[in-house]
Every structure is written in C-alpha cells, then in structure tokens.
Chain A
C-alpha cells in the first residue's frame, strides 16, 4: 500500500469513526421527565376534581346530576397529563357495550379526556348536535365526536379510535374510585 492509499483509508476510517461516535451522544438530547409526571393511574385511586373551586376534592356521586360531567385526576397524580379523565353521570339504562359498567356505579362512567386525534382535552356536551342528539363528548380542536353511552365510540370527526375507558366504582362514602386500568392506551396513537 502506498502513502496515498494509506492516507485515504485513514481519512475515511476517521470520518466514519467520528460520525459513529456522535450517535451515542444523541441520547443526551432526550430531555427530562419529572418522576411525578410518570405516575400512572392504578385501581384504588380516588378521583379528585381537576379544576374549579373544588379542585383537589374527591368526586362523589352527589357532586353532579344526570347528564353532567367533570374533569378529574387520580388523587396525587395530577402531574401526569395522561391521567386526565372526564367523569360523566349518565342514564344507566342507556349504557351499552362496550362500556364497562361496574356494579352500583349508578350511571357514573369515566373516560380518558385526551382526544385520540391530536391530544386536546375533550368536553362533555349536554346540548344535542347534528350527529349526536344526546349528551356526548366532543373535542374543541377538530370536532371529533364520541358517544359515552357506547364506550366513547367515535361518532364523527377525525379521531381514529374511541376514548379509552377508566372503569370506576363508588365506595361506601359515594366517592368515585378507580376499579381497573384504562381499557386501551391513552392519547395519540
């Protein structure tokens, strides 16, 4: 091998090695997440109001009347935005599969409030709309519609899948308690 070939080979090897050495360094760009923001909801957690004057107080069956809903977090886990749920009180007779209905819940159902389209917070609406002539969930961002009586199935709009349900039950004090984990992954796919 003459000097030119050696110099060429060293140069190419050097460049490849330099570029390759950067790759592990890319992991430094990942960014921090607070430990408190990683805590996921678990069965047994108590749901508390997410905002308003009752923020932080437990949600009870008596907090709201039929065809109303509130935004809630599992107690102590508000830092993880994925834990945000909308707790609705609906007519128990109108609930249909695939809605998970717990015994004695009295028409109280909870769904993830993170729209499965692009992550905005959905809203509960009692006012009938064209495609939803009954209380329904809709997203203010791109007008996705969900039916809370049928497992938050998609009624219209651009959402690709239904909102995951968080099965809840009532304890002896009437507080809303998480009965099981989310039925599907939360948020944008």
Chain B
C-alpha cells in the first residue's frame, strides 16, 4: 500500500477530491484582487511573527542611542539594526499597503460588476467590515514603533475619538487606555494589533470565503451567451490543479512585489524620525486616510452645532460625520440599487451608465479630498479646494454617464437599444 492509500483509507480523500477539488473558478484578471489581499494578509502574519520576537510593547525609558528612549522605540531600532530585520519590517509595512490597495480595487471591481446584488449583499457587508478591520489594524500597528511620527498620528486619532459627541471623552479613554500618551496605550494597541485584529480578520475572511463558495462566484457575462445550461453550474477552471497553480503563482508574485519594494524603498524610518518630542512634526497620514485628512482641512473651525446637549465641532464633522456618511452610502449600495438581481453573472460595467457614473464620481471625490490634504504643497486655497471637491465628482460622474449612454445607444443593434 502506498502513502496516498494509507491516507485515503482514513480520510476519504476520493470523496473530497470529487466534491471539492473539481470546484470551478471563473477566470478573469480582476477576479484575482481578493486573493491578492488574502496573500498580503498571510505575508503580514508571517512577518508579524518574526517582529513579535523582538518588539517590546512598553514606553518605559531604557538606555538607548542618544540617551533614554522608550523601550518600544529601542526595540524597533533593534529590529532595524540587522538587515534581515529591516527587510522583514519593510515587507510587513509594504504588505499592509498592498493589502489595502488591493482591497480598494477589489471593492471597486465588485461594485462595477454589480456583484453586490442579491444574494450577495451579506458578503458586501462582510467585505466592508474586512476593509474597516484592516485599516483599524493598521492604525494600531502604526503606533508600535513609538517614534515622533507614530505618536503624532496616534495623538490625532485620539483627538478625533475625543471629538465624538456625547461619548467622546470616555470612548477615547476606553479605546486608548487612558488620556494619550498613557503608559497603557502601547500594550493595549499591541493586543489589538497582534491578537484581536488578526483573529477578527481571520474569522471575517473565513466567513467571506465560505459564502463565496456556497453562493458560487459570479461568472463572466460571456458565459450567459452560451447555450442555456443548468443554472446551478458555473464555468471555470478546476481548483486542482489549475486554480491551485494560479494561486501559487499569484502568491509568489505578491511576495516578489512586497520584497522588491522592500529591497529598494525604506519605510517609516524610526531612527530618522527620532523618539517622541513635545514638538509636532509636519505629518501626513498614509494614502488610504488622506481623504479624511483633506476633509478635516476643509471644514472650517467655526462650523459647529449643538445636538441634544453635545457640541459637534469641526473635528467630529470632518473625521466622523463626513466619513460616516460616505461609509454608510457605500454600505447601503446593495439596497440602493433597485435593479433585479442577476444572481450568477457579473455585469459588464458599461451596461449601467448610472452605476458607472456614481462609482467614478465617488472615486473622484476620494481623490479630490486627498488632494485637499496637500493644500500647502500645492498652494491651493480652501475655497478653491471646496470648488474642486464639489465640481470634480460631478464633472466626472456626468461625463461618464453621458459617454456611456452614447456608447450604449450606438453600439447595440437597433432592436436592443433602450429608449
């Protein structure tokens, strides 16, 4: 008897192979984006293991370069002192950015192909929870090197939490374990970043993928044009061996990209930023939060209103209300889209001028808000930026709508043109 036979007798492998290893995966380059995010997560966990072997989650002073420095900062410098440590820390950082970038592209793909429609509304919500959880994990991790930049960024986050109406003070002190900077904040954020967030993200990823398997991935629109077939069957390449090979290749490409970036581009140079000082450097958030930064710059300080006994000031409006409204709008997309479901097929993005216009307009809004974050460097005044933030999404959306409608009416045969 051979090895495979030994396992077959104990684990019923043939049934497993028949039921699962033949499962079809529709193929399209844009269908890889979710997998790329998953592989980035795997890389983050693997590099994170290594970092936990050295990191010290405490801000008590220890003797270090240039006098007494917080222990967390000293341990980050220790990691950076060896080339392998530097490489792994950089891969950790770049994988985080690649993960968020691929998540954003994945959300856009799902949106533009209307794959959020029934029965996939739940997965849309789970996916957005994953995006939020990833950004939360990133925020907690950002504090850990405890250098000038880290402390400033986290202090701003603390200020934003404090600005929440009615519950701001207690909420901020609860999340940050005391008024920031408190000696309890770093150990708590370490717990968030290393235990809570990975567990939560793993659970959400598991649920997300199980639902995709249960509901089956959407097929490309071309599949619909084929002969009428059983609607319970989808077309794609089998999990084994074709999809597995593709996934391995994709994983290696992600590792190559992250490592390539890490080899040449330094990240968050803690030694250069130095240990925390009373002076605040000119900081900007990472790219995925630039839109909130821009919103905060645009809301004038005089704008505030009272509601049920609490003052909602410019901070709460810029960092909570505006992002909250945008987030709610994105979350509710499956219910705002009134089109009956297509159930199995990803839709051609050009088939719906309205959805395309809204998506591209929304993207323009994010870009315009991020641009507002660079008001100083670009020498643009606040009123000009307000005009851009309102005009750009409208212009982009309107042109997308008109061009797509024109494309639809001219490209379809007479009999199939919509009025």
Contact = CB atoms under 8 A, between A and B. Distances in A.
Interface of A: 29-34, 37, 50-51, 71, 73, 81, 84, 113, 117-123, 130, 139-144, 154, 156-161, 187-189
B174 A188 contact: no
Among B159, B163, B181, residue most surrounded by chain A Cβ atoms (within 10 Å): B159
29 contacts: A29-B174, A30-B178, A31-B184, A32-B177, A32-B183, A117-B314, A118-B156, A118-B160, A118-B163, A120-B280, A121-B279, A121-B280, A123-B280, A130-B381, A139-B280, A140-B282, A142-B293, A143-B375, A143-B376, A154-B302, A157-B297, A158-B297, A158-B301, A158-B314, A160-B304, A160-B314, A160-B315, A189-B162, A189-B313
A160 B313 contact: yes
B279 A117 contact: no
A50 B276 CA distance: 13
B188 to A, nearest CB: 7
Nearest to B375: A143
Contact of B296 (A50, A71, A158): A158
A66 B165 CA distance: 41
Is chain A's binding surface mostly helix, strand, loop or mixed? loop
Interface residues of B, number: 44
B244 interface: no
B178 A31 contact: yes
Contacts of A188: 159, 162-163, 315
Contact of B283 (A84, A141, A159): A141
Nearest to B313: A160
A189 B300 CA distance: 16
Interface of B: 152, 155-156, 158-160, 162-163, 173-174, 176-179, 181-185, 188, 277-283, 293, 296-297, 299-302, 304, 311, 313-315, 318-319, 375-376, 381
B43 to A, nearest CB: 32
B67 to A, nearest CB: 11
Contacts of B158: 119
A50 B280 CA distance: 13
B176 A31 contact: yes
Contacts of B313: 160, 189
Residue from B162, B176, B178, B280 whose CB has the most chain A CB atoms within 10 Å: B280
A31 B296 CA distance: 29
Given A29-B174, A117-B315, A50 B282 contact: no
Contacts of B301: 117, 144, 154, 156-161
B278 A140 contact: no
Given A34-B183, A157-B301, A160-B314, A119 B155 contact: yes
Contacts of A139: 280
B296 A142 contact: yes
A159 B156 CA distance: 13
Given A118-B315, A141-B156, A160-B313, A31 B279 contact: no
Given A118-B156, A160-B314, 13 more contacts: A29-B177, A50-B278, A51-B277, A71-B278, A117-B314, A119-B156, A122-B280, A123-B280, A130-B381, A142-B296, A159-B301, A160-B301, A160-B315
